[in-house]
Structure 1
Amino acid sequence: MAFITISGYPCSGKTQRVEQLRAHLESRLQDPSYEGPPLKVVVVSDDSLNLSRSVYNDGRAEKPARGALFTAVQRQMGQDTILIVDSMNYIKGFRYQMYCAAREHKLRVCTVFVVATHEQCKEWNASRDDSRAYAPETLENLLMRYEEPSSMVRWDSPLFTVPWTDADVPIDDIWKAVTEGNVKPPNAGTQAVPKAPTDALRTLEHTTTTMVAAIMAEQTASGGLGGPVTLVLSAMSKPRVSLPPRNITLSELQRLKRQFVTVHKKAITLGTTEKGAVDWSEESIADKFAVYIEGNLKP
């Protein structure tokens, strides 16, 4: 349904804003005047995943922690969920990665930027207990590395900025974004590439080889008269192909077979960007090869 990215400096009050946002959203979903689909509000955060603040002390530890967060986010995405990710999300590349995942799931998206000054973040960090506080040098490093969201880029838009002086989040605008905002369809850059079955290469090679042999046998039996013929490859696969009224040489068919196999082998090994699932069954390959032969054999 919707995906809300929370972003802000460490110790800037993000979790407090998330609790305000969650309360408002749940209240509106339970209101008798709400007529939309039944939805739940889910929050994924460093704390919910038991990620210690110490992971940000070292880049080698931070990377797998960020990976765990992304995996948890993907697992919770769904049409029945308003998902809020409560973390710094200070790297614009990571926000873009989550945006792409949201587009794959056809979710509405928005970003909430929680703003506080460096001095306030340091003061609030110092007031925390040891288990939830950042090391002073880590906090300073994160403040310097933070990549601020921008309404000018699509993965941060629509962007709602909540300064420390505001008592509450702009729930009316956020509610409109998550319930009425545009759902951007997946594109070639965000779609998962369909994978071919493990036996697709073997089926491709076997089917085309069998068809070449069947065409040569049919030509011998008919004396090279040509015309439409039905090739019986198996009980399920009986492709029809129109042959020219002349003797077709084995070298011609072998050349066409190599070209056909080369093109389709790339689609199998590298993936395909065709819409929907691609059929790599014997019947489908045979029909495609028949069309290819008809279009490339000289009269």
Structure 2
Amino acid sequence: MPLIVVTGVPCSGKTTRSTELKQFFESHGKEVHVVSEFDQIIKANFEKNAFFSGYRYELYCGSKANKNTQCTVHTEINRDEAWKFNEKRPELERYIRDTFDALLMRYEDPDGKNRWDSPLFVVFPGQELDKSAIMSCLFDSEPVVPNMSTQNPPLNSTNLYDLDQVTKKITDGLVKSKNMGVQGAVKIEDFPHLSIDISNVTVQKLMILRRQYLSYCKLHPPDTKQIPQLFIQYLITSLQ
């Protein structure tokens, strides 16, 4: 089933756009299931996952592994206007100022250059959403072909300790190279057949990507023997 990820800061119109898309697709004979982030938070105290690029990457991997098409709808809005909308919400759904500002700080905007955020449709309040283009990219395009970095291997074949140690060793080696001023492709210590271009990545970004990969693997554990290759593929994909 094609997937639409609707993402945006609080009170930017995600629910409104989701309803609009649901009505549009149903009018064209499509079955639509809306997974409300707010409902899931109430049920299970979940984090606001769609805020984070890493979680959107997980959704991308799931779609890719199941040979489904996907796109991202980003509901953009002026932050002051979003706060005004927040003040008009029901008390149960309203944020206090500190929480609202914290969520704005933590939000990671989608980037159409990222495979997992593409195709990206950006829409502002009062602007017409190009629903026909969304339908075309979901139903007239071929799904992305799964590869090793996005397929779900057997759940019982992993060892979290090995996962932590291997990814730490690779990340530490890349950080060491960055601190030494190395540019271009770097070979991975103990894994000479693997390399990655570190020219356009910061040390902080490498640390963030490692944490995101560990979080992803808790839900989709890889085969222990494939950890180095899969982690490097994840880094390469994330940095493109």
Which residue does the alignment assign to 1:124? 85
Cα distance per residue 1:210-245 (max 9 Å; x no partner): xxxxxxxxxxxxxxxxxxxxxxxxxxxxxxxxxxxx
The residue identity in structure 1 corresponding to 2:125 is W
Number of aligned pairs? 162
Which residue does the alignment assign to 2:145? 185
Question: Computing the radius of gyration over CA atoms, which structure comes out larger, 1 or 2?
Answer: 1
Shift, 1:50, TM fit: 5.4
Matched residue SS, 1:183:
coil
Asked if the contact 1:196/1:271 (under 8 Å) is kept, the reply is no
Distance in 2 separating the partners of 1:116 and 1:272: 42
Shift, 1:182, TM fit: 2.5
Shift, 1:196, TM fit: 7.8
Asked if the contact 1:193/1:272 (under 8 Å) is kept, the reply is no
Cα distance per residue 1:31-72 (max 9 Å; x no partner): xxxxxxxx52101012333528xx9xxxxx6xxx14xxxxxx
Asked if the contact 2:49/2:55 (under 8 Å) is kept, the reply is no
- The reply on whether 1:41 has 2:32 as its aligned counterpart is yes
Matched residue SS, 1:41:
coil
Distance in 1 separating the partners of 2:154 and 2:51: 31
Structure 2: unaligned runs, 5 residues or longer: 158-222, 228-240
Asked if the contact 2:4/2:73 (under 8 Å) is kept, the reply is yes
Shift, 1:107, TM fit: 0.8
How high is the sequence identity, in percent, across the aligned residues? 31
Asked if the contact 1:12/1:114 (under 8 Å) is kept, the reply is yes
Are residues 141 and 272 of structure 1, via their aligned partners in 2, closer, same or farther at CA, if it must alter by over 3 Å? Answer: closer
Structure 1 residue runs of 4 or more that deviate by more than 3 Å after TM superposition: 194-197, 269-273
The residue identity in structure 1 corresponding to 2:224 is L
Structure 1: unaligned runs, 5 residues or longer: 30-38, 56-60, 67-86, 198-268, 274-299
- The reply on whether 1:109 has 2:109 as its aligned counterpart is no
Alignment of 1:54-93 (within 5 A): 65-66=46-47, 89-93=50-54
TM-score of the aligned structures, taking structure 1 as reference length:
0.50
Asked if the contact 1:194/1:272 (under 8 Å) is kept, the reply is no
Matched residue SS, 1:139:
helix
Cα distance per residue 1:159-213 (max 9 Å; x no partner): 00111131x321110010110122012111011224689xxxxxxxxxxxxxxxx
Deviates more, 1:42-51 or 1:145-154: 42-51
Asked if the contact 2:87/2:94 (under 8 Å) is kept, the reply is yes
Of 247, 251, 270, the match for 2:224: 270
Asked if the contact 1:194/1:271 (under 8 Å) is kept, the reply is no
Distance in 2 separating the partners of 1:17 and 1:93: 23
Matched residue SS, 1:47:
helix
Superposition RMSD on alpha carbons, in Å? 2.4
Cα distance per residue 1:141-175 (max 9 Å; x no partner): 11122111111110000000111131x32111001
